[in-house]
Structure formats: C-alpha cells, structure tokens
Amino acid sequence: MVFLRKKKVKGYEYLYLVKSTWDKKRKTSRQETIKYLGEKSAVSRDDIPEEYREDAKINSFLLQNTSKDRKKYEQLIGQLRDKLFTSLTDGNLKETMNVYTSFVSNNSLDKFYEKVMTPVMTKIGHLWSNGELSIATEHVASNIAHSLVKVISDDFRKSKYDRGVVILTTPVGEDHDLGCNVLDSFLTSKGFTTFNLSPATPSESLIEFIKTARPDALFVSITLEDNIRSGQRLVKKIHNEYKKLPIFIGGQAFSQKTNFRFEGKLITDANMLEQMPQIIKKG
C-alpha cells in the first residue's frame, strides 16, 4: 500500500510518497519512503511515479490539496515557462539566467529542470518539428540552454562535498546531450564529482576512462529510440568489464516503450532528479 505523508518544517508542509509493507516475522508494518515530492502546495500528479498515479487514495489526497496556493504555483510556472521560451529563442542568456535565479530563490534546482526548462525544450522541439520554428532558432535556444546549465554546474563545482564519482555519457550516434548536462549539474549540486563524457563516447574509450576515474556509477542517456541498440551494446560491454559498477540508463527514448533489456538499471520516470543521490547510494 502506498500513501502520502506530510511533514511540517518551519511552517511549511512537505510531502513524501511512502510504501507500507507487512513484515511477517516481526508482525508489524514497515514503511519506506519511495520519493520525496517537495513542498505540499507545489506537488502535482506529474510528481507521482507513473505506477502509483492511478492509486485512488493518492488521487483523492491530491484533489483535496488542490489549494489556491497550488493554482498560484501552476500560474507562476506557466509564466516562467513563457519567459524562458522567449529568452531562449531570443538567444538572451542574461534574461535566461534571470528566469533561473527568480525560480530557484524559492524552489529547488531539480524542479527548475523538470518543471520549467525540460517542458520548454519539449515545446521548442514540437514547434520545430511542425515547421513553426526555424532550425536556426531551435539551435540558438538549445545553445543558450546549454550555456545556462554550464553556468549552474560551474557554480556548484566549487563545492567541497565528496559523495561519490559519476560518469555520464550517451551512446554512439546520440548527439542530444542536454539531458546529461542537466544530470551532471544536478549531481554536482548534490556534492558528486562528475565526469561528463557526452555526447557519444565509444565503448573502448569509456572502458579505459573507467579504469582511471573509478566511478561509483555510470549514467547513460538516450534520446532517440534508434540509439537504444547502440546503448544496449555500450552497457553490455561496460558491464562485462566492470561487473560491480552500477549502470543507470534513462532519457526520452523510453517515454513511449519501456520494455528494453539492459545490463543495468533502466529508469523510465522522467521526474526523478531528486531521487538520484539515493538511487546511486543503493547502487
């Protein structure tokens, strides 16, 4: 059984998705946090991992908690997405930075990436594929998005925490690397040391690199379905060389179909940044 638990800290309420299971031996129930969802008024259905979204209890809880605050929050997100869309397509890094700083003054970095930036990139992709946005404008927008993520990452790289080493890459053929850069910047903000080898690292180079970097985890990001095979080959080769290295695979390629076999852990929930440090720890 899953349910939402509230915790109050300094006047704010925070929500956690919790799983309760019956421990036969001890004859008591055991509770495990599946996901931290964030500040109550900001939590929406999208934050719930897909497999629990249809749970009646969770839905009714969310309905009850659709407060005025939530509506205000959704409006704010909408406005920020519009501003970000304009600043990215105008090629205006300064304004893009302003949108970012105004959001993170009250919200977390993962929410910025998941609720603001990634949906804006998706919109840009739609407009581009429908011929409503030129290739040139799409390139400008994507380059500014990369610059923003780089500024954010560089800022966090000064941190002295040492929570582990992570390598990130995409398989050969995959040029989309903003996903890797976003993961890189988020993990850096959480105190991980990252080596971002994206895009498209050949497996031989990666095998050599792992020898010296000695990572605690490897992340493989795949955007195009056509590159899943290349991803599977890459993961297989790495796994054969480093049996104990945890390998995580994810990205847009798995937004429609998810039944792919990898010699690693496939993560298909798109909104999972906040959980990553815990997932890496569990290996």
Please report, as ranges, the residues that interact with ligand B12 according to CB under 6 A.
113-114, 118, 121-122, 124-126, 129, 138-139, 142, 173-179, 182-183, 219, 221, 223-225, 248-252, 267, 270, 272-273
Q: Shortest approach of ligand B12 to residue 25 CB, angstroms?
A: 34
Helix (H, G, I), strand (E, B) or coil at 7: strand
Token pair listed for 85? 């869309």
Q: Shortest approach of ligand B12 to residue 68 CB, angstroms?
A: 28
Q: Shortest approach of ligand B12 to residue 160 CB, angstroms?
A: 25
> Cβ neighbours of residue 242 under 8 Å, at least 6 residues apart?
210
Nearer to ligand B12, 73 or 262 (CB): 262
Nearer to ligand B12, 41 or 170 (CB): 170
> Cβ neighbours of residue 30 under 8 Å, at least 6 residues apart?
20, 21, 22, 23
Residue type for position 157:
R
Residue 5 CA to residue 17 CA, distance in Å, equals: 6
Question: DSSP letters of 251-269?
Answer: SGGGSS------SSEE---
Residue type for position 221:
S
Strands 217-221 and 247-250, sheet pairing: parallel
Nearer to ligand B12, 61 or 272 (CB): 272
User: Using an 8 Å Cβ cutoff, are 182 and 132 in contact?
Assistant: no
Nearer to ligand B12, 47 or 177 (CB): 177
Residue nearest to ligand B12 (CB): 125
Nearer to ligand B12, 43 or 273 (CB): 273
Strands 12-23 and 2-9, sheet pairing: antiparallel
Nearer to ligand B12, 103 or 113 (CB): 113
DSSP E strands: which ranges in 61-213? 165-169, 193-196
Q: Shortest approach of ligand B12 to residue 122 CB, angstroms?
A: 4
**Closest among 228, 62, 231 to 218, alpha carbons compared:** 231
Q: Shortest approach of ligand B12 to residue 183 CB, angstroms?
A: 6
Alpha carbon of 222 to those of 20, 146, 179, 273: distances in Å? 33, 17, 9, 16
Q: Shortest approach of ligand B12 to residue 34 CB, angstroms?
A: 16
Q: Shortest approach of ligand B12 to residue 138 CB, angstroms?
A: 6
Nearer to ligand B12, 41 or 221 (CB): 221
